[in-house]
Structure 1
Amino acid sequence: MKKILLVWICFIYGLFFSCTQEIASDIFDRVERYMEICPDSALLLLNRIQHPEKLSGKQRADYALLLTQARDKNYLDSLQSDSLIELAVDFYRNSNDRIRAGKALFYYGKVAALQKDEEVAMQSFLGAQEKLEHTNEYRLKALIQEYVGYLNEDRNMYDMALENYRRSVDYYQKVGDSLGIAYIYRNLAWIYERKNNNDSVTWYVTEAISLLRGDSTSPVFPSLMQLCGVIESNQKNYLEAANYYLIAIKHERIGDLSAYYKLSLGDTYMTLEQLDKAEECFNSILLSKDTFALSTTYNCLYRLEKLNARYEKALYYKEVSDSLLQIAQKEDLRGKILKLQQKYETEKLQLEKKLLRQEMLIQLLGGVALFIILAWSSIFFYRKMKMRYKNAYEKCMQDYSRKNKEIINANEQLIGQYICQIEELKQKKIEAADSFKEQIEKLEQEMQFLIDKNREIRENSYADGISVLRQLKGGLLIVENMTSAEKMQLFGYIDSLFGSFVTRLCEEYALKEANLLLAIFIKLGFSLEELVIVFDSEPEAVRKRKQRLKSKIGLDSKTNLDVFLAIYPRKMSC
């Protein structure tokens, strides 16, 4: 009863698990359809999976990849930890699904970039690019080139960054993504601004704005307005620059970015000597959580107070700016040290896992080798013992058959002598009937006793021969599979049945085993079909065998082999 209950529990659990898997697969299909057009709906669908920890294998990797992608597209702060996306990276790294492998590596690179691990980020982006090389995922290829360009730009490798951004534009053009192209044009404009190439800056900004087609709600619009302000400032058009900065501040939805627009605006007001507006602008930044923005703001206030000849306050702002800058530098240094520590711990853990894996592999190989040795030894010992018992059995059977044959031959000689004596006595019966009658009866009794004894010996000795003959007759055994013991049992039985039929053929015609077996089957009346089965050959081959046997015996073409063997004479010697 307990076993039945356990089986039912396992069945119900398996059914529930399979249903969970099917539900998850259906949700994943819908999430992939909604990811680009409605990322918020995709995230809601993923949150409907109640027990994601029960997923395994490919579904677990798909869940990790889709959840990371959905959080990123919904601008959630979800890429600070790499534990989730690592599941997808580990699963798809060596799989045949190059697209999912490329996506997983791309998001792993974004995580590494946010953690300031530029080396790992670059390796991940390049790995993703390699996985997607021969695919049509142009949008993802464009993002990869864009983020590689960010890394090269941060390292002041502007020419390489320009090349990455141009490749990204090519990919975006293949999918017709004008917004993506606008972002890349903005990045190109910033690089050319650092290189003091104002004509290129103006061209790229103008092209990017035209791609927006008047959509001021686009996320890239404020940064383009900031660039317009920079262009006007470089041309000494400070009022126009201030208007562009105000537009950028008005349309920016991310507070930390507004702080940098306000810095540009405040600096422009200082240039226009509108110090009150500049001070108001700088004070509005003091609520920002960006340490570098605050440090720059306090430095601007320091310059502003110097212009107002308030040196004591200017000195205070200078000290605050320097302290914030030191804090930011220490935080950056602390982050780098922490990253090195984490890298060391990771490498140490990987080394320990590698050593443990090697130790387990050595133990496994040792166990396999020991098992193979034991198995080989057991097989060898078994075969050796089997061969020994087989040889002993065959020797015993041969000795047993030889002894029985000797007894039968001796008895047959006595029978022959008794027959001769009976014949002689019968000839003298008329003359000495009465005197020899008692002697004849005694001899007949002795003869009958020996005949019965021989029959008993034959029945006991060749029971196995009858079994072999039945198997041959029934098609259960063929000549090729007969053992030596089985052949001897059959020969002995035929000898006993037909008066040393086999022995006489051997003595008179020196026949081998194959010819003897054929002669026995013909003697027993086997048909051609039965001979074909017994010898496991074709009818033509059986006919050739019979012709060779006829030639061995020395019969002419007119003599029928079957008839000859059927009436093969018993030779008696008196």
Structure 2
Amino acid sequence: MQRCPNSALVVLDSMEVPSPSDKFQYATWCLLITQARDKNYIKHTSDSLINIALAYFEKQDDPVWKASTLYYEGRVNQDMNNVEEATDFYLRARDVAKNTTDYRLLCLINTHLGTLYAYRNLPDLAFEAYKNAHTYSMQLKDSTFISNTYSALGRVSMLNNNLQEGLDNYKKAIEIAEQSGNLKSLTLAYGEISTVYQALSMLDSSMYYLKKSKKIEEKYNASALSQTYLGIGETYYYMGLSDSAYYYLEKALNTINPYTKQDAIHALYYLCRDLGKYEDAIKYNEQYWVYKDSIDNINRSSEIAKIQAKYEREKLLNINNGLENRILWGSIILLLIIFVLIFFYQRELLKKERIIKESRKQLQIRLNQLHENESIIHENENLIGVLSIQMEEYVGSQDI
């Protein structure tokens, strides 16, 4: 799955699907087939399989399986433009995965969560997520993840209009990707650093990186070409080379990515307007607003922020409830301990009182016996005295 996801997908597609009666095997297959499709960049169009996996693994004690399932629920919902649901699943996956050492999964969760925030112009939330992703990538010591997270941090720097910081992050991303030979990470950094140079009006530098990205993508990653064509077209537009700009902007339209398509149409509108092609400009303007409305419905930045705030509130509430429950049970246990201590103390006290009473009783008996003995001794002494007198009288009578 990690090294050859295309082979994993072939195996999973060709194998006999486990019986639903074997819940573990069936749920595992549902999760793995979703994961394999995601790693092969196949757009998810249904959540039926991942829902089966989640229904099983959410009830299990293994946090890695549970977090993985929640993460892929997020990926599926993100592809289906269910942004609020995707955000909620990513947040839940993040909190479950925190109890693991699966840094790869933690990096992926935070990266996608950050991208959701970045596309919806929520830079503070995006920065926090991307920063976490970068920390996990460093712990993972994976050059691909490290390069990608540097590019992500560069993206946030651009959102905050900190161009120099963005430039520094992208250069680090490029350096690591070039050293490791990771072409996908390299084209990502090439493409995004060009936007910084555009903002700095350094158009030659922007074009330099765009052409490097184009050269790699044409050979290895044709699916990413539309975004590069868009960047080249925009740069040519800023250079005043209208024909070249029009050529590449038209090529950029050959994509299913609504963001790329919207930006290309918007650029074509300005280009046609500047060239006096007003009918074409009106056509592109109408198309732009259609795509903008569609993307605005997908984005709903305020809703995403509300979900984040709601999730944090609920988590805090759960923590407070848990704390209150612990305090309550702690109080109950403390009262029970106090009750037990009082019970044993009272029992010991009663025992001692009984012993004292018994001792007093025995003492009284002995005192009574002593008193009786003293009376007997006194009587005996009197009797001895009488007998002694009688003996003396008897002895006296014998002497006479």
Same fold (TM over 0.5): yes
Tell me the residue number matched to 1:280: 280
Matches within 5 A, 1:473-492: none
**Residue 169 of structure 1, aligned match among 164, 168, 174:** 174
2 CA distance for matches of 1:258 and 1:188? 20
Q: Is the 8 A contact 1:80 1:114 kept in 2?
A: no
Change (3 A) 1:109 1:181: same
Change (3 A) 1:69 1:141: farther
Q: Is the 8 A contact 1:256 1:290 kept in 2?
A: no
Change (3 A) 1:339 1:252: closer
> Which letter maps to 1:135?
L
> Which letter maps to 1:257?
T
Tell me the residue number matched to 1:366: 331
Tell me the residue number matched to 1:238: 242
2 CA distance for matches of 1:115 and 1:223? 18
After superposing the two structures, state which structure 1 stretch, 94-103 or 378-387, moved more: 378-387
- 2:174 is paired with a residue of what secondary structure? helix
Matched, 1:46 2:46: no
- 1:252 is paired with a residue of what secondary structure? coil
Tell me the residue number matched to 1:193: 198
Matches within 5 A, 1:5-20: 19-20=22-23
Give the superposition deviation at 1:25.
4.1
2 CA distance for matches of 1:110 and 1:228? 23
Give the superposition deviation at 1:286.
0.8
User: What TM-score does the superposition give when structure 2 sets the normalisation length?
Assistant: 0.67
- 2:141 is paired with a residue of what secondary structure? coil
- 1:224 is paired with a residue of what secondary structure? helix
Change (3 A) 1:255 1:69: closer
> Which letter maps to 2:251?
I
2 CA distance for matches of 1:221 and 1:148? 22
Matches within 5 A, 1:227-266: 227-249=231-253, 251-255=254-258, 257-266=260-269
1:127-164 per-residue CA deviation (whole Å, 9 max, x = no partner) reads 23223322134333333333322222122111111222
Matches within 5 A, 1:384-533: none
1:474-527 per-residue CA deviation (whole Å, 9 max, x = no partner) reads xxxxxxxxxxxxxxxxxxxxxxxxxxxxxxxxxxxxxxxxxxxxxxxxxxxxxx
Q: Is the 8 A contact 1:21 1:55 kept in 2?
A: no
Q: Is the 8 A contact 1:248 1:261 kept in 2?
A: yes
2 CA distance for matches of 1:77 and 1:340? 16
- 1:134 is paired with a residue of what secondary structure? helix
2 CA distance for matches of 1:202 and 1:162? 15
Tell me the residue number matched to 2:222: 218
Change (3 A) 1:133 1:290: farther
1:157-208 per-residue CA deviation (whole Å, 9 max, x = no partner) reads 1111122222333444465431332232121112101211123113212211
Tell me the residue number matched to 1:112: 117
Change (3 A) 1:220 1:97: closer
Q: Is the 8 A contact 1:263 1:281 kept in 2?
A: no
2 CA distance for matches of 1:17 and 1:384? 66
Alignment length (residue pairs): 336
1:238-259 per-residue CA deviation (whole Å, 9 max, x = no partner) reads 333333333333x333355334
2 CA distance for matches of 1:335 and 1:28? 29
2 CA distance for matches of 1:152 and 1:212? 25
Q: Is the 8 A contact 1:27 1:46 kept in 2?
A: yes
2 CA distance for matches of 1:68 and 1:344? 18
Give the superposition deviation at 1:225.
2.6
2 CA distance for matches of 1:262 and 1:99? 37
Structure 1 unmatched ranges of 5 or more: 1-15, 295-327, 397-574
Q: Is the 8 A contact 2:107 2:137 kept in 1?
A: yes
Q: Is the 8 A contact 1:229 1:244 kept in 2?
A: yes
Change (3 A) 1:142 1:390: farther
Tell me the residue number matched to 2:75: 69
- 1:212 is paired with a residue of what secondary structure? helix
Change (3 A) 1:390 1:65: farther
Change (3 A) 1:220 1:44: same
**Residue 184 of structure 1, aligned match among 189, 199, 217:** 189
> Which letter maps to 1:182?
T
1:302-329 per-residue CA deviation (whole Å, 9 max, x = no partner) reads xxxxxxxxxxxxxxxxxxxxxxxxxx9x
Give the superposition deviation at 1:64.
0.6
Q: Is the 8 A contact 1:245 1:261 kept in 2?
A: yes
> Which letter maps to 1:166?
K
Structure 2 unmatched ranges of 5 or more: 1-18, 363-400
Q: Is the 8 A contact 2:227 2:252 kept in 1?
A: yes
After superposing the two structures, state which structure 1 stretch, 56-65 or 193-202, moved more: 56-65
> Which letter maps to 2:160?
R
1 CA distance for matches of 2:263 and 2:127? 27
Q: Is the 8 A contact 2:107 2:133 kept in 1?
A: yes
Q: Is the 8 A contact 1:117 1:339 kept in 2?
A: no
Larger gyration radius, structure 1 or structure 2: 1
Q: Is the 8 A contact 2:123 2:160 kept in 1?
A: no
1 CA distance for matches of 2:261 and 2:214? 19
Q: Is the 8 A contact 1:266 1:279 kept in 2?
A: no
Change (3 A) 1:161 1:37: same
- 1:257 is paired with a residue of what secondary structure? helix
